[in-house]
Structure 1
Amino acid sequence: MTTPTPSTTPSADKPTWLATLKVYLEPASLRMLSLGFSAGLPLLLVFGTLSFWLREAGIDRTTIGYLSWVGLAYGFKWVWSPLVDRMPLPLLTRLLGRRRSWLLFAQAVIMAGLVCMAFTDPRMALLPVVWCAIAVAFGSATQDIALDAFRIESADTERQAALSATYQTGYRLAMIWAGAGALWIAARAEVPAEVAGVVAGYQHGAWQTAYLVMAASMLPGVLTVLFSPEPAHKPIPPAKNAADWLRSAVVEPFTEFLRRYGIHAVLILALIATYRISDVVMGIMANPFYVDMGFTKDEVAAVTKIYGVVMTLVGAFVGGAMAMRLGVMRVLMLGAVLSAATNLMFAWLAGRGHDVQALIFVISADNLASGIASAAFIAYLSSLTNVNYSATQYAMFSSMMLLLPKFVAGYSGAFVDHFGYASFFTATSMLGVPVLGLVWWASKAKLASSPRPISSYSS
């Protein structure tokens, strides 16, 4: 009988749980925590928090609704992702490298936009606020492109789930700070109306303070970029002409993906386009549901915005660790099952009415499932990219994963009006059933990951 060598024993193939969890303390993981905060900060400042500010300033709801189109910058970031992937920035790229130079540029745009918003009163002039918000959204989307490439190139495939977990942690913490934190700062920056000489209910100075603090909150991300090593990547040969540059920067990232996977590319793109459909479609009607069930603002804020975020973070860390131990595809399947199943719990909650304990129970399960699914899905998307085109390909994937769900979600209100909440939540759960088949098919076709051309990564 031949004794197995250490390289073939099961214990040698899998790290211990302690060694698995230590990955979260590695420098690359800690950098993702800070950069995730930098990525999550701008989103609410041009959506939820801005809408609150504009409404308090007396801007009508129709106009505020139109201003949500600022978010199209995130949906179409793939359009300029080839520039971020390939085009050097004067001086900055030579000093910092390709990824860090674009990160620093994007962060500068975000900070400048937030400062300009702070010094513009929408009650006096709305258009400057709109242009500043567009600048922040553009800078934020550009930061996402560069940061996704930076993350993918900073570690091997096995560590991508852990990096995505710490990235999500920073991102979620930033959303709490940009949402609840900004409102808290604005409230405490107000002065008594009789002292300020203004009508009670709106003080531009309070919002100015809040947005200046938010701009300063980008500084940890800036310092992280400045003191981080540039990820290892292959040098890009100079283009002979404009057509050659377009081919290598724009066309080749997409054709390379199609060549690599062939007919299976259709399967992969279908999985990407539908994996989060249950959560996204359900999420559009979540807040109206809470209101119609009689939950107060304080109850919704405490349970869904604070406690819910904590549960999502727990899920992200659990999902990242499980992906390293069990493999991305198994956890991807688990996340798909849990996402669909927890929507049925909202259907159950719809029959209970105003029940805070039941709400806590449902939010615990739903957000934990969401964290697990997100960590596995980000790791899966990362595994699909070729590091030579990581920014462009990941931007394509991350944009595609929201297009169909967002389109379908537009009809969610009409569905609830006709059939009620219980039927709506049940229907969103059923939307996740085809996803299970796609994950199973992708797993059987061994489409979980692809060879990565670079074997050395920064630590």
Structure 2
Amino acid sequence: MSLATYTAVFTNRRIAAAMFLGFASGLPLALTGSTLQAWLSDAGLDVKTIGWFTLVGQPYTWKFLWAPLIDRFVPPLLGRRRGWMVLAQLALALAIAGMGGLDPQQHLATFAVLAVMIAFFSATQDVVIDAYRTELVHHEERGAAAAVGVFGYRMAMLTSGALALILADGILSWQHTYWVMAALMGGMVLVSFLAPEPTLAARPPLTLSEAVVAPLREFFSRKGALLLLALVIAYKLGDAFAGSLSTKFLLDMGYSKSLIGQANKVFGLIATIVGGFAGAALMVKLGLYRSLLWFGTAQAFTNLGYWLIATTTSPGNELLFLAIGLENLAGGMGTTAAVALLMALCNVRFTATQYALLSALAAFGRVYVGPASGYIVAAFGWADFFVISVLAALPGVLLVWSMRARIRALDHDPQAATAQE
């Protein structure tokens, strides 16, 4: 199969839309997270108050609660998905601009309300974009859509994170920096207008009851539904363990903070993006099942790079970059396959609700393994911890292998995921 065959899936409007909407999805995140914390710190707020502001991101955790409304109701313009995207993006642009017009010292309560509103509208936009991307792309394009979506998302986080900090550090005021970000967010409305309408249309739920209950009933009516949910949770679990305390580990190994930043944030980001695109290209040939199996295996065993650092008497910088590069390369490939799996599992009638629920389960490890990781390190040490992280990844790989017939059916028939068995 020629290189042109592998890369052809990237050269169409559907994939372009997935990339730009990935940017739209990632742009608001830092504006209520790390960038907001920097503004509050510059404004002279104490650490306790800044700590309370970390709670404004709660809507991202609970977005599945209102996802059924996105499936149930259709805006009067631009259809079921693009209409909601435009509404969310306009609301985000206005809320971000509103924050830019306030002094957090003088209007702290209003500032906090606007921050929560940004997180809410951003989480809503995520629900719609995930549903739109799932309905838009053809089944052979899922890997490419996942890769370019992650790329756009990470570029947006750099824009509202690193670029915003650079702008606010003497080039612009914090207020003007947020207005620049609001303008970028407003520009995403044009992307939604120009994005193609999904060709795979389905009747939306007729009632709220149908929108809430039917997605769950439909999913659990499928053969092997519980095993599919277990796979969604387990597939990235080893990755979550290895990454949960990586900065603390590298500091304990004697690496400087600046070197860790260069390796993790710059080199690691590049490796993740390369892994995402490589995974998407390989998925064209390998298909969903073999991609999940091979990338999941790579995810598991590249964690041993950190084990090698932990067991080496004087680990050098070369070993640091090798371990981070391989782990992030495999992680990027695994993320591409995992997102493609989530898209394949969604019934087109309930895409917003089912994707929101599945993505919440997929994030389980990333959110909850941190405390357990600390206890494991304290009990066994760093070297054994990374061996355990490999073992934690293996159940996900074994589930892929045991469900190979089901996953192959998802890959060869776009509607297989919605079949009642």
Q: Same fold (TM over 0.5)?
A: yes
The aligned counterpart of 2:228 is 268
Q: Return closer, same or farther for 1:186/1:421 CA change in 2, 3 Å cut-off.
A: farther
The CA deviation at 1:235 is 5.3
Whether the 8 Å contact between 2:72 and 2:205 is mirrored in structure 1 is no
Letter aligned with residue 41 of structure 2:
R
Instruction: Note the alpha carbon deviations across 1:67-126, whole angstroms, 9 max, x for none.
Output: 3333331222111111111212xxxx3321110011111112222222222223333343
1:431 paired with 2:392, answer yes
Instruction: Note the alpha carbon deviations across 1:22-77, whole angstroms, 9 max, x for none.
Output: 21121111111111111111122222222233334344444434433333312221
- Aligned partners of 1:225 and 1:20: how far apart in 2? 27
The CA deviation at 1:299 is 2.5
Whether the 8 Å contact between 2:15 and 2:137 is mirrored in structure 1 is no
- Aligned partners of 2:381 and 2:47: how far apart in 1? 25
| Higher alpha-carbon Rg | 1
The aligned counterpart of 2:190 is 223
- Which of the residues 249, 252, 270 maps onto 2:211? 249
The CA deviation at 1:185 is 1.1
The aligned counterpart of 1:152 is 134
Whether the 8 Å contact between 2:305 and 2:322 is mirrored in structure 1 is no
Q: Return closer, same or farther for 1:226/1:151 CA change in 2, 3 Å cut-off.
A: same
- Aligned partners of 1:363 and 1:124: how far apart in 2? 44
1:287 paired with 2:247, answer yes
The aligned counterpart of 1:42 is 28
- Which of the residues 300, 308, 326 maps onto 1:365? 326
Whether the 8 Å contact between 1:36 and 1:168 is mirrored in structure 2 is yes
1:71 paired with 2:57, answer yes
1:113-128 to structure 2, matched below 5 A, reads: 113-128=95-110
Letter aligned with residue 11 of structure 2:
L
Letter aligned with residue 57 of structure 1:
A
Instruction: Note the alpha carbon deviations across 1:220-253, whole angstroms, 9 max, x for none.
Output: 42211011222124453784xxxxx123211111
Q: Return closer, same or farther for 1:359/1:129 CA change in 2, 3 Å cut-off.
A: farther
- Which of the residues 385, 403, 408 maps onto 1:442? 403
- Aligned partners of 2:183 and 2:260: how far apart in 1? 29
**Which one is further off, 77-86 or 280-289?**
280-289
- Aligned partners of 2:103 and 2:200: how far apart in 1? 45
- Aligned partners of 1:429 and 1:215: how far apart in 2? 42
- Aligned partners of 1:275 and 1:446: how far apart in 2? 14
The CA deviation at 1:294 is 4.2
The CA deviation at 1:298 is 3.4
Whether the 8 Å contact between 1:46 and 1:133 is mirrored in structure 2 is yes
Instruction: Give the number of aligned pairs.
Output: 414
Letter aligned with residue 235 of structure 2:
Y
Whether the 8 Å contact between 1:329 and 1:448 is mirrored in structure 2 is no
Letter aligned with residue 246 of structure 1:
L
Whether the 8 Å contact between 1:36 and 1:169 is mirrored in structure 2 is yes
Whether the 8 Å contact between 1:233 and 1:388 is mirrored in structure 2 is no
Whether the 8 Å contact between 1:75 and 1:403 is mirrored in structure 2 is no
Structure 2 counterpart SS, 1:185: helix
Letter aligned with residue 289 of structure 1:
F
1:315 paired with 2:297, answer no
- Which of the residues 16, 24, 39 maps onto 2:10? 24
The CA deviation at 1:405 is 4.2
Q: Return closer, same or farther for 1:238/1:390 CA change in 2, 3 Å cut-off.
A: closer
Structure 2 counterpart SS, 1:432: helix
The aligned counterpart of 2:148 is 166
Q: Return closer, same or farther for 1:452/1:339 CA change in 2, 3 Å cut-off.
A: closer
The CA deviation at 1:368 is 0.5
Q: Return closer, same or farther for 1:401/1:434 CA change in 2, 3 Å cut-off.
A: same
- Aligned partners of 1:445 and 1:31: how far apart in 2? 29
- Aligned partners of 1:425 and 1:55: how far apart in 2? 36
Letter aligned with residue 219 of structure 2:
F
- Which of the residues 167, 177, 184 maps onto 2:159? 177
Whether the 8 Å contact between 1:23 and 1:159 is mirrored in structure 2 is yes
The aligned counterpart of 1:10 is none
- Which of the residues 151, 170, 177 maps onto 1:188? 170
The aligned counterpart of 1:5 is none
The CA deviation at 1:304 is 1.7
- Aligned partners of 1:168 and 1:446: how far apart in 2? 23
- Which of the residues 302, 313, 318 maps onto 2:262? 302
Q: Return closer, same or farther for 1:84/1:102 CA change in 2, 3 Å cut-off.
A: same
- Which of the residues 65, 68, 93 maps onto 1:82? 68
Structure 2 counterpart SS, 1:410: helix
Whether the 8 Å contact between 1:273 and 1:405 is mirrored in structure 2 is no
The CA deviation at 1:404 is 4.5
- Aligned partners of 1:179 and 1:214: how far apart in 2? 10
Instruction: Note the alpha carbon deviations across 1:399-436, whole angstroms, 9 max, x for none.
Output: 11112442222333344344433333332222112112
- Aligned partners of 1:57 and 1:416: how far apart in 2? 38
- Aligned partners of 2:352 and 2:204: how far apart in 1? 17
1:104 paired with 2:86, answer yes
The aligned counterpart of 1:201 is none
**Which one is further off, 101-110 or 292-301?**
292-301
- Aligned partners of 1:407 and 1:346: how far apart in 2? 21
- Which of the residues 180, 189, 196 maps onto 1:213? 180
The aligned counterpart of 1:382 is 343
The aligned counterpart of 1:12 is none
In structure 1, the gaps of 5 or more residues are 1-14, 191-205, 240-244, 455-459
- Aligned partners of 1:230 and 1:448: how far apart in 2? 26
Whether the 8 Å contact between 2:59 and 2:119 is mirrored in structure 1 is yes
TM-score, normalisation: structure 1: 0.84
CA-atom RMSD in angstroms: 2.3
Whether the 8 Å contact between 1:329 and 1:439 is mirrored in structure 2 is yes
The CA deviation at 1:269 is 0.3
